[in-house]
Amino acid sequence: MSRMVSFEPGAPMEEGGIPLCVPEIRGKEWEYIKHCLDTNFVSSVGPFVDRFERDTANYVGTKFGVATSTGTAALHIALLVAGVQPDQEVLVSTLTFIAPVNAIRYAGAMPVFIDAEPAYWQMDPQKMRDFVEKGCSWKNGELHNRHTHRRVRAIMPVHILGHPVDMDPILVIARKYNLVVIEDATESLGANYKGTMTGHIGDIACFSFNGNKIITTGGGGMIVTDNESWARKAKYLTTQAKDDPFEFEHDEIGYNYRLTNLQAALGCAQLEQLDDYIAAKRRIAGVYTDAFKNMTGLNPMQEADFAFSIHWLYTILVDPARFGMDSRALMNRLLLRNIQARPLWQPAHLSKAHRGAYATDCSVAERLNREAVSLPCSVGLSTTEQGRVINCIVENGKSV
Ligand SMILES: Cc1ncc(COP(=O)(O)O)c(C=O)c1O
């Protein structure tokens, strides 16, 4: 593969540069933050925290929402309240940003990596089922990995890039083998699967409001669930597990994973604009897909019949033999024109940090990692900016 010019995601861009995916602040953000400052509710309790939890849960359709300091913290706590214990295993997509895998390790558990399917690049339900039915044994209501002998306790599908995982076959296996389903919906707020919002398909789910997500609180996360005792436990664990808040008594080890009222104020204002943002993301994706439809060796991410994608991060695959250059060479061309582009994540089964974890055959994820290029797709991307990105790609490729 070609070598990359230096590239640091999130680094300030030169004048006239087109960033990959930046926040859009155009609603009541200032007004709500001013309210926090005027009322002195700047820290980790306050009316915007309660409202943001309620509004997010309502949007997704769950009964409860628990705000957290980050999406990673949300995943950590979701694993704990769902009962994942040290030395158990969690089936997780290998093609993902590393956070869900790290969260599994924070809980003392181990990941089992499941490959991506080639059509929509999400967790492959067929490979997941094959692992469970051929690679595990089922005895006394417990599933055990035949290779590691650890108990498999949960499945964590990650809805990457704003597109849902094909969840029905995953739920069938989960119900049959008594596995909890924890959705990492951090990249897919507003997407739906057969009409059900991501985040309300499994037993518990997590969102992130990091700066590059579809809505942002600067940094933040949310756990959503219909399970009241899990929601209560999540609130308890994220707020230092206070059993007697007056006497400061604690029966369990808790965490300071709270979202501040200031951040939640930002979140409330952003949530009010989410549907407009999704419409913008879908329009941007449509323009790219149309522009690339006659190009040889360029395959844009597809939307499945079962899906409503929010197209969080617009991504294409570059087939080097047919396009005439590989993904890294194309990214270099874009970066040299001051246009941010980036690859997808190293598949997690290849991460040295998670050496020793069991993985199914993950060859699809490895190919996707070699071929994928994510393109600028901020909600506020202008037609002129998008035209510059398209021109750069079209000039470097061939039409059919
Ligand atoms: C798939 C996935 N899971 C988890 C996270 C973690 O979220 P945060 O950065 O808010 O901790 C992110 C993004 O950052 C993500 O893309």
Query: Separation of 186 CA from ligand 1 center, angstroms?
Result: 6
Whole-number pLDDT of residue 366: 98
For the chain, how many structural domains are there in total? 2
300 and 196 within one domain = no
Cβ-based burial of 175 (10 A; exposed 0-12, middle 13-18, buried ≥19): exposed
163 and 125 within one domain = yes
- With contact defined as beta carbons under 8 Å apart, do 213 and 186 qualify? yes
Helix (H) or strand (E) holding 189: none
What would the mean pLDDT of 143-147 be, rounded to a whole number?
98
80 and 179 within one domain = yes
CA-nearest of 167, 166, 165 to 186 is 165
59 and 189 within one domain = yes
User: Which residues lie across from 249 on neighbouring strands?
Assistant: 244
41 and 147 within one domain = yes
Task: Quick: pLDDT tens for 66-101.
Answer: 999 999 999 999 999 999 999 999 999 999 999 999
State the first-to-last Cα distance of the chain, in angstroms, to the nearest integer. 24
- With contact defined as beta carbons under 8 Å apart, do 327 and 370 qualify? yes
334 and 267 within one domain = no
Question: Looking at the predicted structure, is the pLDDT value of residue 5 above 70?
Answer: no
Please give the torsion angle defined by the CA atoms of residues 386, 387, 391 and 397, in that order, rounded to the nearest 10 degrees.
50
Reported as a pLDDT band with limits 50, 70 and 90, residue 7 is: low
What is the percent of the chain where pLDDT is above 90?
94
Residue with tokens 């790609």: 393
161 and 76 within one domain = yes
- With contact defined as beta carbons under 8 Å apart, do 316 and 298 qualify? yes
- Asked if residue 360 is part of any domain, the answer here is yes
- Asked if residue 11 is part of any domain, the answer here is no
What is the percent of the chain where pLDDT is above 70?
97
Task: Quick: pLDDT tens for 9-59.
Answer: 555 577 789 999 999 999 999 999 999 999 999 998 899 999 999 999 999
Q: State the chain's mean pLDDT as an integer.
A: 96
Examine the fold and report which residue of 271, 300, 319 is the final residue of a domain before the chain moves on: 271
pTM here is: 0.96
- Tally of CB atoms within 10 A around 287: 17
Number of helical H runs and strand E runs in the chain: 13, 16
Strand ranges inside the chain, DSSP E: 64-68, 89-93, 110-114, 136-139, 142-145, 151-156, 180-184, 192-193, 196-197, 204-208, 221-225, 298-300, 307-308, 315-318, 358-359, 372-374
- Asked if residue 216 is part of any domain, the answer here is yes
Residue 99 CA: nearest ligand 1 atom is 4
283 and 245 within one domain = no
- CA separation for the pair 77, 90 (Å, rounded): 14
Whole-number pLDDT of residue 4: 55
Examine the fold and report which residue of 243, 271, 299 is the final residue of a domain before the chain moves on: 271
Q: Is the CB of 162 under 6 A from ligand 1?
A: no
365 and 282 within one domain = yes
Domain CATH number, residue 333:
3.90.1150.10
- Asked if residue 363 is part of any domain, the answer here is yes
- Asked if residue 278 is part of any domain, the answer here is yes
Residue 103 CA: nearest ligand 1 atom is 4
Whole-number pLDDT of residue 2: 57
Task: Quick: pLDDT tens for 269-312.
Answer: 999 999 999 999 999 999 999 999 999 999 999 999 999 999 99
Residues spanned by the domain of 282: 274-396
Whole-number pLDDT of residue 10: 53
Whole-number pLDDT of residue 399: 78
126 and 65 within one domain = yes
Domain CATH number, residue 80:
3.40.640.10
- Asked if residue 20 is part of any domain, the answer here is no
- Asked if residue 161 is part of any domain, the answer here is yes
Q: Which of 97, 156, 259, 263 to mutate to test the pocket of ligand 1 (most atoms within 8 A of CB)?
A: 97
Query: Separation of 248 CA from ligand 1 center, angstroms?
Result: 32
- Tally of CB atoms within 10 A around 248: 9
What would the mean pLDDT of 243-266 be, rounded to a whole number?
97
Query: Separation of 75 CA from ligand 1 center, angstroms?
Result: 9
Task: Quick: pLDDT tens for 189-203.
Answer: 999 999 999 999 999
Residues near 148 by Cβ (< 8 Å), separated by ≥ 6?
89, 110, 358
343 and 199 within one domain = no
Residue 72 CA: nearest ligand 1 atom is 11
Query: Separation of 245 CA from ligand 1 center, angstroms?
Result: 31
315 and 225 within one domain = no
Whole-number pLDDT of residue 14: 72
Whole-number pLDDT of residue 8: 56
- Asked if residue 8 is part of any domain, the answer here is no
For 280-300, the DSSP string reads HHHHHHHHHHHHTTTBTTEEE
Whole-number pLDDT of residue 15: 79
Query: Separation of 5 CA from ligand 1 center, angstroms?
Result: 25
- With contact defined as beta carbons under 8 Å apart, do 304 and 119 qualify? yes
Query: Separation of 93 CA from ligand 1 center, angstroms?
Result: 14
Q: Is the CB of 145 under 6 A from ligand 1?
A: no
Whole-number pLDDT of residue 230: 98
In terms of pLDDT, which residue wins out, 395 or 398? 395
Examine the fold and report which residue of 209, 241, 271 is the final residue of a domain before the chain moves on: 271
Q: Is the CB of 65 under 6 A from ligand 1?
A: no
For 217-267, the DSSP string reads -SS-EEEEES-HHHHHHHHHHHBT--SBTTTTB-SS---B-PPPHHHHHHH
